[in-house]
Structure 1
Amino acid sequence: VATEASEGLRQLAAEFRATVDVAQDVHLEVILDCAIPPGRGLGSSAACARAVVLALADLFGREVSARTVFDLVQSAENVAHGRASGVDATAVGAPGPLLFQQGTAQDLDVGCEGLFIVADSGEVGRTKDAVTRLREGFTRHPGSRHHFLRRAALLTDRARQALAQDTPDALGPYLTAYHHLLREARLSTERIDALVEAALAGGSLGAKITGGGLGGCMIALVPSDQAGTVTRRLHAAGAQQTWVLPLTARPDTHPA
């Protein structure tokens, strides 16, 4: 991991210097202290790359545009993961939820209030294996690809609408339904499923796997007064770590 990180950092620093025209040849010692575990579908590598880009901009006294930051982070992501979709490079610099579709990001209206609890299963996600498994399932079962994509699009659109309104009770079940869709496609794991069930038993409005699949983390939408109960249930079910994040309505949101 250290070797891969060092190569990625070297390339990132070199591209930064070329992009913002830093002529001097300097020795850089970069120490990253990141609380986001790698390999869990939480964008750890993109967050680290963004931190490095902004630190270098500060070090050399350069103003960098949002587009430049994205391009540099995306370049580092391609080193770390091969061909990256761009979702992590976009999300780590976003002030709120995004709808990411076919390489384009759109800000989402937020009318709901509540909490998201993220639970780390302790299992490293296996995105490539998940993609292979999904593709093989589509090949074995004619029509399954169309059903999967149609169902995924429907749940996403309904969740988007619920998020824009003051209806967290409506949003939660769409998360759980999406988890069931991914579990049927064999993209979840027993440990993730156990965390989802624990979150729901503790009072969550909905819960699902997050990330590339076959490991990683689970995310649950929780009423504020249930956060303590849900967190305890998750740790009892085997969560390695949990994080509580606020879901706050945006002042400029105009529910449909």
Structure 2
Amino acid sequence: MTPPTLGQAPSQQHRMRAIGAGSAHAKAILLGEHAVVYGAPALALPIPQLTVVASAGRSPDSTDDQDDVLSTMTASASRQLVTEASGSLGRLVTEAKAYLGVLDSPRLDVIVDCAIPPGRGLGSSAACARAIVLALAELFDRRMSEGETFDLVQTAENVAHGRASGVDARAVGAPAPLVFQGGEAHELAVGCDGLFIIADSGDVGRTKDAVELLRTEFLRRPGAREEFVRRAWNLTDEARRALAAGRPRKLGACLTDNHELLRAAGLSTDRIDTLVDTALAAGSLGAKITGGGLGGCVIALTEMGQAREVTRRLHAAGAARTWAVPLKGPSRHAR
């Protein structure tokens, strides 16, 4: 679905609430990053404890025709990252207003309070975009379908990252783990309990650089793309079956094998590899880099009894911070 042009937007006179609010959460890719762009499936995990809240309302300064997006990053972020995010979110506000048919509305202030560290592969940009879209829809008392929300968020993601697969735009609003393929998302069947420990390496990931590195390698070696996608696809399918069947050790092995695939493609770093090795040595069932690569985070599947030791040793190995995301099964979300 393509967002309508201004001429196609709703024509009724807009009504404004005093304030509109929207929220979204972080996500982590379990398996399938990069390959998902080429049609393979990817598995994504919502991280509900890392959130974004956006508030939108009439600006007291009506002399300026430009929208003002005020970003408050509660997680540490460089000034450059905040500036880049503010610019892309400002464009999103304009596009969302055009979609809603309210470009002639008074100047707005949109405040974004983001607890998701940017540049870590956790979906910060997509979550901010979703929160803003929902805040504007509420401000102007408009109902938006999930598909309409996705389209606007995906437009912003394509600006931020180039060719975006769409998995982030779906996952930052998902209530449960999901499988994403070819633009379609479905909830995953979960048949086992466990705990995912996510460790921030402290290094900003470079998704665009990682995508270009992989593309160059695919052009340099005939058949490299097909082999990469085939292996990633098989691992993701194996992991999906293991997750549904309640086989956490098999799921963990798939995570580790996927990391080796990404590492061999040059998408990992020494620090990421150290954190993966540390998690495995501490008793994790599997561990890998998550997200675009060249920095960012590690995700490790851990049994509850090992979680404290895994977390302790990850911090000792240099992790800037960690988060624990429970995996519960049999899931009420299973199909």
Q: TM-score, normalised by structure 1?
A: 0.91
Cα deviation, residue 156, structure 1: 0.9
The equivalent of 1:48 in structure 2 is 128
Could you report, residue by residue, the CA deviation over 1:44-79 in whole angstroms, capped at 9, with x for unpaired residues?
A: 011011111122222222221111111111122122
The 2-side partners of 1:14 and 1:142 are apart by: 43
Asked if 1:86 corresponds to 2:162, the answer is no
Could you report, residue by residue, the CA deviation over 1:192-236 in whole angstroms, capped at 9, with x for unpaired residues?
A: 000001111111110000111111111011111211111111111
The 2-side partners of 1:8 and 1:142 are apart by: 36
Distance 1:58 1:204, change over 3 A: same
The 1-side partners of 2:288 and 2:105 are apart by: 48
- The amino acid across from 2:124 in the alignment is S
The equivalent of 1:182 in structure 2 is 262
2:176 and 2:333 in contact (8 A); partners too: no
Higher helix share: 1
CA-atom RMSD in angstroms: 1.9
Correspondence 1:126-141 to 2 at 5 A: 126-141=206-221
Could you report, residue by residue, the CA deviation over 1:140-182 in whole angstroms, capped at 9, with x for unpaired residues?
A: 4444433322221211111010011111122111101111111
The 2-side partners of 1:198 and 1:54 are apart by: 40
Between 130-139 and 84-93, report the one with greater CA deviation.
Answer: 130-139
Asked if 1:105 corresponds to 2:105, the answer is no
Asked if 1:251 corresponds to 2:307, the answer is no
Higher strand share: 2
The equivalent of 1:213 in structure 2 is 293
Distance 1:30 1:180, change over 3 A: same
Give 3-state SS (helix, strand or coil) of 2:114's partner. coil
Which segments of 5 or more consecutive residues in structure 1 lack a partner in the other structure?
none
Cα deviation, residue 23, structure 1: 6.0
The 2-side partners of 1:220 and 1:123 are apart by: 18
The 2-side partners of 1:57 and 1:130 are apart by: 34
Between 123-132 and 87-96, report the one with greater CA deviation.
Answer: 123-132
Between 133-142 and 61-70, report the one with greater CA deviation.
Answer: 133-142
The 1-side partners of 2:94 and 2:210 are apart by: 33
Which segments of 5 or more consecutive residues in structure 2 lack a partner in the other structure?
1-80
Cα deviation, residue 18, structure 1: 2.4
Distance 1:158 1:251, change over 3 A: same
The equivalent of 1:64 in structure 2 is 144
The equivalent of 2:248 in structure 1 is 168
Q: TM-score, normalised by structure 2?
A: 0.71
Cα deviation, residue 127, structure 1: 2.1
Between 43-52 and 5-14, report the one with greater CA deviation.
Answer: 5-14
Cα deviation, residue 32, structure 1: 1.7
Could you report, residue by residue, the CA deviation over 1:81-102 in whole angstroms, capped at 9, with x for unpaired residues?
A: 2332211111111122222223
Say how many residue pairs are matched.
Answer: 254
The 2-side partners of 1:15 and 1:34 are apart by: 21
Cα deviation, residue 241, structure 1: 1.3
